[in-house]
A and B are shown apart, each in its own frame.
Chain A
Amino acid sequence: MPELYHYFQQLINGLTVGSTYALIAIGYTMVYGIIGMINFAHGEVYMIGSYATFIAIVGLSMMGLDSLPILMIGAFVTAMIVTSAYGYTIERVAYRPLRGSNRLIPLISAIGMSIFLQNVVLLSQDSKDKAIPNLMPGNFIFGESAMDGVVVSYMQVLIFVVTILAMLGLTLFISRSRLGRACRACAEDLKMADLLGINTNSIIALTFVIGAALAAIAAVLISMQYGVINPHIGFLAGIKAFTAAVLGGIGSIPGAMLGGLVLGVAEAFGADIFGDQYKDVVAFSLLVLVLLFRPTGILGRPEVEKV
């Protein structure tokens, strides 16, 4: 049975990590779906969310309010507010003035914004790793023992639960609410939505904010699980999340969710086979392979060029 346990373990680990990728990926896919641009700075927004998380947790602890529920709620609220503010501001400052120009220009602006944000944090918070202790130690063990069974930490359970709730919430919002309907309309045909009287600027801003908030949730979960942050985590997280979005079909929210899970599992098994240091190579290679052989992703539909 040990091999089965081993594979299950990789699967569990992969799905956990993958669901956090999915949360960040949704930000990319929603923005791409509505204005057709890759928000290169999204990874840095996630990184800022991690710093906000740590500040909230450490700050509250210093004030003596260190019970777990308070810390978590404080972390979620702070991170979501800060990232939403950043998401909104980035859109207003770096993207809205460039709407309508050829694709290259907003992409370069996004890259510039990403570099700018990374360095803002680098300079104001310094480049060293910051660490907090594990707030939820403890595991569930299925099987004989920790060595011969599947270990699921409390943190992993929390990640599962929160991500499922978040995705459920998003899906309900998109499919049932009036704003959600407006988002879908804009994603399908921005010009038409505008002509029909929808305030497209607000909807676009809302899209960025939603993406940022979800990235914040991911930031809280991941930074609590790993306990370490530095200003450089945004780049890698961003690339992986983008890979997940493309893998699932860019523009499709269920696609982002699926892509995240697939990437997480692929990474877990890849690291198992090739060694831990090749984990990132797995992610990049998957990105390249998907774009080469199926650029529309798993759930995407092939586009036909209009001549």
Chain B
Amino acid sequence: MSRPILEVSGLTMRFGGLLAVNGVGLTVHDKQVVSMIGPNGAGKTTVFNCLTGFYQPTDGKILLDGEAIQGLPGHKIARKGVVRTFQNVRLFKDMTAVENLLVAQHRHLNTNFLAGLLKTRAFRKSEHEAMDFAAHWLEQVNLTDIANRPAGTLAYGQQRRLEIARCMMTRPRILMLDEPAAGLNPKETEDLKALIGMLRDTHGVTVLLIEHDMKLVMSISDQIVVINQGCPLADGTPEQIRDNPDVIKAYLGEA
């Protein structure tokens, strides 16, 4: 049993009078795929936002590898290896696909002012390596032919893949995908499934995803967490969740 990489307990988020998230907890083990499901408006994206530092949670503890990260701002959490995608794809639309990938490597590039100004060898080497890394990942997600097209002109499915590739530029430990299959046709969803599997198996990334596509969720997840109206409802393997009466009731209403 791999060790827990992310431990969340008692996560609470209050917006004025609205209690959006109430005491959610989950434990994610290293190199697992964990899905968060629940009816619309259950608070799943709010949980994501709390975990990634875009909201400051009202209460609760978030431990990344034993280190408390609740309350840290978004970019600091991202630097610790927790990156995410968004419900509405947030690519840099006027920049080309490859440039999107280069920007994402900002933290790993030679940003020395003088080096760049004088085009020193160290600078050129750093840029070269960044370009290679970007090219490698474009290949991994099958986007090499559109490398030099502005990201805003790409097809929706391609944009989704690019966004995931962009996340991988930051060499993350945990990848959080917010409804990655939304708007994808069955073939694209299959490709997505393969991609997520590849990320976990080949690159050792832990994946946490919010999803509504039950087929995808059931087939790919090692663990499923169910949230309803901000409260934790159930937690377990796909088989356990599938047969859980509370979950069935939440989705389908009273029999």
Contacts and interface: CB of A to CB of B under 8 A. Distances in A.
B51 to A, nearest CB: 12
A156 B49 CA distance: 53
Contacts of A305: 54
Interface string B119-132: 00000000000000
Nearest to B45: A307
B113 interface: no
A304 interface: yes
B86 A304 contact: no
A304 B45 CA distance: 15
Contacts of B45: 307
Nearest to B48: A307
A304 B15 CA distance: 8
A26 B49 CA distance: 36
Interface in B7-34: 15
Contacts of B133: none
Interface string B37-64: 0000000010001000011000000000
Interface string A267-307: 00000000000000000000000000000000000001101
Contacts of A307: 45, 49, 54-55, 86
Nearest to B84: A307
Size category of the binding interface on chain B: under 10
A307 B45 CA distance: 9
A262 to B, nearest CB: 25
Contacts of B15: 304
Which of B15, B45, B49 has the most chain A CB within a 10 Å cutoff? Answer: B49
A304 B55 CA distance: 8
Contacts of B54: 305, 307
Nearest to B88: A307
A108 B219 CA distance: 54
Contacts of B86: 307
A296 to B, nearest CB: 14
Nearest to A301: B16
A305 B53 CA distance: 12
A307 B86 CA distance: 8
A307 to B, nearest CB: 5
Interface in B79-122: 86
Nearest to A305: B54
A303 to B, nearest CB: 11
A304 B54 CA distance: 10
Nearest to A307: B54
A299 to B, nearest CB: 15
A307 B73 CA distance: 14
A243 B49 CA distance: 34
B232 to A, nearest CB: 22
A175 B49 CA distance: 37
A22 B197 CA distance: 62
A138 B62 CA distance: 69
Contacts of B49: 307
Interface in B166-219: none
Contacts of A304: 15, 55
B90 to A, nearest CB: 9
Nearest to B56: A304
A305 B49 CA distance: 11
A307 B54 CA distance: 7
A304 B46 CA distance: 12
Nearest to B178: A307
Contacts of B55: 304, 307
A188 to B, nearest CB: 15
Nearest to A302: B16
Interface in A253-270: none
Which of B15, B45, B54 has the most chain A CB within a 10 Å cutoff? Answer: B54
B25 to A, nearest CB: 22
A304 B56 CA distance: 10
Nearest to B52: A307
Interface of A: 304-305, 307
Given A305-B54, A307-B45, A307-B86, 5 more contacts: A304-B15, A304-B55, A307-B49, A307-B54, A307-B55
8 contacts: A304-B15, A304-B55, A305-B54, A307-B45, A307-B49, A307-B54, A307-B55, A307-B86
Q: Which 3 A-B pairs have the closest CB atoms?
A: A307-B54, A307-B49, A304-B15
